[in-house]
Homo-oligomer: A and B are copies of this chain.
Amino acid sequence: MPTKYYIIYIQIVFFLHLRYGQAQVLYDFTAEPGNGELTVKEGETITITNQSIGGGWIEARNSHGETGLVPEEYVEVSVCVSQSCVPMLCSIVAVTAMDDDEWDDEWDDTRSSACYAEVDLEAAEEGATNRTEVQGPTRKITLNKFPGFSKSGPELYLLAKMLPKGKEKISMGEVGPVWLYPEVQMECLVADPKKGSKMYGLKSYIEYQVTPSTTNRPVNHRYKHFDWLYERLLEKYGSAIPIPSLPDKQVTGRFDEDFIKLRMERLQSWMSRMCRHPIVSNSEVLQLFLNHQDEKDWKLGKRKAEKDETVGVMIFSQIEAEAPELGLDEVERKCESFSRFTKAMDDKVKDLLAVGHDHWKRCTGPLPKQYQKIAKAFQNLSTVFSSSGYQGESTLTDALTATGKTYEEIATIISEQPKKDLHFLVETNLEYKGILGCFPETITVHKAAIDKLKDADKLVATNKISPHDKPVMAKRVSNMSYALQAEMNHFHSNRIHDYNRVMQFYLEEQVKLYETIAGKLRAALQQYTTL
């Protein structure tokens, strides 16, 4: 499903690009004479005439009709949608709706991220700038879910003018750079799924009760609210912190009990992970999600969050390492090793998942069947024996029947075991697969920054940047590296904790399993007359 959803999303975006090639200039760019470049000013709106120039350049026309090349990283593709195209957008939405109720559901009141026309209106009401309206689509494009479309490079941060002092501090712990952890770690409980409905019961949905340990006051949220939270966190922190996807959307059986149970369990793990993260747990948007007072409070908070401009790479502007600047090669070495590790772990986690899947199938399929056959064979023998008409038969036949029953029980025990232990092992590894899936993008951003720094001299020489930009870039790349290291250390400590826990749980359950089976067989054995 999600793939389809994205594909259709991209379609929308494409269609918008083709029809409205508008772009916002993010910061000043002075054309180099004789290079066919176009000088633009921050805030200016230009029309893209050719997006497929390549080499990081696009062709654009300014309001005066002048055309020339502009670095694509210096502009943000924008979409100004008139009422006229709303029906068409909705029709596209309708397409998705056909295969995913809930996705349709997602749209029904998240106007700001979906139905641009309304944003227009609201935006107007709230006197929002043009930029606000277009965040929906553009941000979607910058999400690391489709790297191919990433339009915002590290320059946004590396070359940003005067930044406020970062509020997220990184200190040096014994394992190296570490985030500042709160005294008490926030937890939250996702529980008590309830079926709700709206539009006079035409639309129904599941609502979960989310209770943060901080307030102990429950708030109700639907899957789509979690999804909204996910999108916000991804936008805001995705470049620095892996924000794993939510459990997949589901086309059918959304009200099936097992599905609800599994989804709740996964939402719980996801929320716990977010709450366990010192930066994320501290974020306004998560606080809003957990602590909003009422519907109005929630809606207002949503709007505010959606207007947050410190997203993408700009998150690094809020991070500050209290440590000496790192040399480029040190930065590169760290980046390489993290890249290697996360890639390697990703492979092994996937292997483990494949093995786990196999084992699950065997334990719920052939293996219990085998034990049922054994059971049947013993029981049939017992039946024949009892027909012998020979006296003094009963002890043996009773024992054989009991043995048969025992093997039937063993078959059941074995087939139900994976739900008990393998499930948790698989879920944990699925979670890590999700987290590890976020690193490539984080590392790409990081490498892009490193490359930019390497190009600094060339950029200065070609007047792309001013000479005093270079040390600033170097400082900020170092800062990014501290952020990456802090995040890796956070990842490692969580990983060690999580795998310790899951392995212990799995082994405990396996020990119980084999002891139970041994016990049952011993009981069956005692039924025979000792010779």
Contacts and interface: CB of A to CB of B under 8 A. Distances in A.
Interface in A351-410: 351-352, 355-356, 358-359, 362, 366-367, 370, 373-374, 376-378, 380-381, 383-385, 387-393, 395-396, 399-400, 403
Given A349-B381, A352-B377, A352-B378, 17 more contacts: A341-B384, A341-B387, A345-B385, A366-B366, A367-B367, A385-B495, A390-B493, A392-B496, A396-B496, A400-B499, A403-B503, A403-B507, A501-B531, A503-B528, A507-B522, A511-B525, A515-B518
Contacts of A380: 348, 351-352
A257 interface: no
A3 interface: no
Given A497-B531, A500-B529, A489 B390 contact: yes
Contact of A500 (B396, B508, B511): B396
A504 interface: yes
A206 interface: no
A485 to B, nearest CB: 11
Given A504-B525, A521-B511, A521-B514, A499 B396 contact: yes
B384 A358 contact: no
A174 interface: yes
A175 interface: yes
B352 A381 contact: yes
A261 interface: no
A388 to B, nearest CB: 6
Interface string A469-510: 000000000000000000011001101110111011001101
A432 to B, nearest CB: 10
B175 A384 contact: no
Nearest to A391: B175
Contacts of A377: 348, 351-352, 355-356
A517 interface: yes
A156 interface: no
A510 B378 CA distance: 15
A496 B393 contact: yes
A522 B511 contact: yes
A530 interface: yes
Interface of A: 174-175, 337, 340-341, 344-345, 348-349, 351-352, 355-356, 358-359, 362, 366-367, 370, 373-374, 376-378, 380-381, 383-385, 387-393, 395-396, 399-400, 403, 488-489, 492-493, 495-497, 499-501, 503-504, 507-508, 510-511, 514-515, 517-518, 521-522, 524-525, 528-531
Contacts of A511: 518, 521-522, 525
A106 B98 CA distance: 80
Contact of A387 (B344, B378, B529): B344
Given A497-B531, A525-B504, A355 B374 contact: yes
Interface centre among A175, A374, A377 (most CB of B within 10 A): A377
19 contacts: A341-B384, A345-B384, A348-B381, A352-B378, A352-B381, A355-B373, A356-B377, A358-B370, A359-B370, A359-B374, A385-B499, A390-B488, A390-B493, A390-B496, A393-B492, A507-B525, A507-B528, A514-B518, A515-B515
A496 B384 CA distance: 12
A486 to B, nearest CB: 13
B518 A518 contact: yes
Contacts of A359: 370, 373-374
Contacts of A385: 345, 495-496, 499
Contact of A514 (B345, B378, B504, B514): B514
B492 A508 contact: no
Contact of A530 (B391, B504, B515): B504
A494 B494 CA distance: 64
Contacts of A384: 341, 344-345, 348
Contacts of A337: 389
A264 to B, nearest CB: 24
Contacts of A395: 500
